[in-house]
Amino acid sequence: MIPHSRPTIDSEDIEAVTDVIKSGQIAQGLKVQEFEGVVSSYIGVKGAVAVSSGTAALHLSLLCLGVKHGDEVIIPSYTCPALLNAVYYVGAIPRLADIDARSYNIDPNFVEDYLRRKRAKAIIIVHTFGEPVDIDAFLELSKRYSIPVIEDCAQALGATFRGRRIGGFGLISILSFYATKLITTGEGGMLLSDTDDFLEKARDLREYDKKKVFQLRYNYKMTDMASALGLSQFKKLPSFLKRREEIAMTYNVALGKSYEKEGRIYYRYILGSPHAEQLIGLMEKDGISCRRPVFKPLHHYTGEKGFPQTEMAWERSISIPIYPSLTDREVQKITDSLVRLCPEGFPNGSGR
């Protein structure tokens, strides 16, 4: 079975983690600081705070911005529940937004329509599947309505917008280093910012021990073991991104698709079909694991309606394997199966 996702771990990664274990310093320490410095320099921001997950980074981001009980936070419906959890963690109210049909990203027009009528405390924009959001539009909304923007770059490390790496546009940005992300620390995340106050507050809140004054804090630390893996993985990020792009271009040619945009990276490769669920099952029988790219949109959890583009994307979209350790033979098997099972091809647009 060709898995839908698979981490790319080599002997250098294993050696890096082994060295930390042998050193005896396995919890948060100098490796964490080194990892924070490397990633923040790459993104082009002042600093970073490594934490235990992307969800933890989102939670701390909202706390840094002063989001509290009863505040409203705008998030896309077509995303994983991590955002919903983070909003609920601080007692805020999630206000879901529909997506742009072509990019799968949060629709700025939908958001502006909401902001004309009501106020919100923050917007979380997700660079979905590696394609940058229309950042100019959201920075304009941020200025016009005095609302801060948090960039969720969990699926887009290395992507750029107008020549700058994403993650440096919002007041705060976050990354995830889960096992199937662009680089991995097993579990892990990171908050990044140019604002000293946010960085200081996030560092204070991520650990609760040895504090002069008690307040609610968290056990959100990243370990040196995880950071050692992250540092080793980060060295290979350019080759990881290049291999993902090579596979995507192979898919484009084989499937007759155009799936390119300046600045994007290929975290996921998405196909659209009116028979998505059936195709996933047929690919499974061929020994290829495909998935819905989003298990369930958030409005299905909250019981809301009024998100037609999200609904269409969810019904029609299929995510096929794309990751650096995918072999040429596996890529060929995937394309052969898709061409045989869907001789009519795949449309561009929502569920490309």
Structural domain of residue 284, as residue ranges? 237-341
Mark which of 219, 235, 251 sits at the end of a domain: 235
Whether 108 and 148 map to the same domain: the answer is yes
Mean pLDDT of the chain: 96
Distance CA 90, CA 218 (A): 13
Residue 97, H or E segment = strand 93-97
Residue 289: which CATH number?
Answer: 3.90.1150.10
Residue 259: per-residue pLDDT: 66
Helix (H, G, I), strand (E, B) or coil at 348: coil
In this prediction, residues 6-18 reach a mean pLDDT of: 98
Whether 20 and 97 map to the same domain: the answer is yes
Residue 258: per-residue pLDDT: 75
Residue 149: which CATH number?
Answer: 3.40.640.10
Confidence bin at 345 (pLDDT 50/70/90):
confident
Whether 220 and 260 map to the same domain: the answer is no
Q: Is the pLDDT of residue 352 over 60?
A: no
Confidence bin at 262 (pLDDT 50/70/90):
confident
Confidence bin at 351 (pLDDT 50/70/90):
very low
In this prediction, residues 108-115 reach a mean pLDDT of: 98
- For residue 212, tell me if it sits in a domain: yes
Residue 30: per-residue pLDDT: 98
Mark which of 205, 235, 265 sits at the end of a domain: 235
Whether 123 and 244 map to the same domain: the answer is no
Whether 45 and 143 map to the same domain: the answer is yes
